[in-house]
Amino acid sequence: MKPSKGLVLSLVPIFLALYRVAAKPKRSLKVPRTEERVLVVGASSGIGRSVARQYAERGARVCIVGRRESLLKEVEAECRAARSSAGFGGGSLSDIFGVTADFTNVDDMVEVRNVIETAWGGLDTHVIAAGVSALQPLMAVAGVEVERGVTLKDASAQGIQNTTDIALAAIKGNYIGPLIAAVTFVPMLTNTSKAPSIVLVNSLASIIPAPTRTLYASTKASSLVLYQALSIEHPAIKFTFFMPSTVEGDFRASAVDSGPVREKDPNAHGLKREDVARRCIQAADNGEKAVFMPETMRYAHLLYWIAPSFIERMASRKYNFSI
């Protein structure tokens, strides 16, 4: 008897889950944890900060990058303390250090590369956690009120210009930054590491459309696809695309459109930063490609293609959006 198409399809998630469980972590054999050279861009707060501290805790050498120098100093001290209490000593100046840099600035990132070259002579793991949020519906950015049953006014030239300026800021923070980070470090990773890894901290918003996330999601999606294609061009590097749902913290304060937060309080309902960081590191260790958090979202996003209106309703509910 031939198995039905439905049965075969329903077995796919089970096979994928088994495949992931069976896949053994191999990277640590090539790059021992205490020798791993890790660069975390966007380490002054949030997920990147926790990733940096957790790497330090297991004895890695860590370079932390962000624009806020005073916070980087705090993170540096945090990493040294974590390293020390885990029994690896506080680390020398070249084991844990911060570089104040803007990842959308070419000269800044070349300087980060020079400092790493001098300190370590190479790099094993590059975590890109930096990014900016945007929180308003697109037409609100353009100054157009949208109400059910009310004729829409044309956006003014000023409104269209404002939308363009805000979109450019989102593109800079969510696409150009990751682009510069990749172009700057792909050769160094390839040439100097026995098992190079790039972890792009992206977002579930890149693959599940949501109202009020037009600019955020589309700019995050652009860097996701950039890295997905890049990973085919550079098979020697293990790429991880990390896609969490809402995470606790102050990310929304970085909104380039300074819009209101509409979803339930991320600090009460979001994923925990420490859990997200732990999963990021685990994924880099295992060389996992696409990581969803929560894991169920691996399948939930496919639903959009099967039942888009269901996903749209859920997304509208999440972001408290109605029209």
Ligand X SMILES: NC(=O)c1ccc[n+]([C@@H]2O[C@H](COP(=O)([O-])OP(=O)(O)OC[C@H]3O[C@@H](n4cnc5c(N)ncnc54)[C@H](OP(=O)(O)O)[C@@H]3O)[C@@H](O)[C@H]2O)c1
Our finding on whether 33 is near ligand X (CB under 6 A) is no
Our finding on whether 48 is near ligand X (CB under 6 A) is yes
Q: Could you give phi then psi for residue 41, rounded to 5 degrees? A: -95, 125
- Enclosing H/E stretch for 216: helix 214-233
Candidates 23-31, 149-157, 246-254, 315-323; binding stretch for ligand X (CB under 6 A): 246-254
Our finding on whether 173 is near ligand X (CB under 6 A) is yes
Which residues make Cβ contacts (< 8 Å) with residue 39, sequence separation at least 6? 62, 63, 65, 112, 116, 123, 125, 126, 127, 185
Q: Which of 98, 211, 249, 259 binds ligand X (CB under 6 A)?
A: 249
Cis peptide before 25 (omega within 30 of 0): no
Least distance CB 174 / ligand X (angstroms): 7
Our finding on whether 240 is near ligand X (CB under 6 A) is no
Our finding on whether 177 is near ligand X (CB under 6 A) is yes
Exposure string for 198-227, b = 16+ CB within 10 A, e = fewer: bbbbbbbbbbbbbbbbbbbbbbbbbbbeeb
Nearest to 227 by CA among 192, 172, 180, 195: 180
Contact code string over 66-85 relative to ligand X, x by CB under 6 A: xxx--x--------------
Q: Which is nearer to ligand X, 123 or 256 (CB)?
A: 256
Our finding on whether 247 is near ligand X (CB under 6 A) is yes
Residue in the block written with tokens 């120098």: 69
Our finding on whether 98 is near ligand X (CB under 6 A) is no
Q: Which of 79, 244, 256, 283 binds ligand X (CB under 6 A)?
A: 244
Our finding on whether 209 is near ligand X (CB under 6 A) is no
Least distance CB 311 / ligand X (angstroms): 17
Q: Which is nearer to ligand X, 31 or 199 (CB)?
A: 199
Q: Would you state the structure tokens that stand for residue 175, as one six-digit string? A: 């696409």
Is residue 187 exposed (0-12), middle (13-18) or buried (19+ Cβ within 10 Å)?
Answer: exposed
Contact code string over 115-134 relative to ligand X, x by CB under 6 A: --------------xxxx--
The residue number whose beta carbon is nearest to ligand X equals 46
The footprint of ligand X on residues 186-205 (CB under 6 A) is 201, 203
Q: How far is CA 130 from CA 38, 141, 188, 210, 251, in A?
A: 15, 23, 20, 21, 10
Q: Under a CB-based contact definition with an 8 Å cutoff, are residues 80 and 103 in contact?
A: no
Residue in the block written with tokens 């911060």: 98
Q: Which of 54, 193, 222, 246 binds ligand X (CB under 6 A)?
A: 246
Residue numbers at the binding site for ligand X (CB under 6 A): 42-48, 66-68, 71, 102-104, 129-132, 173, 177, 201, 203, 220, 244, 246-247, 249-251, 254, 266, 270
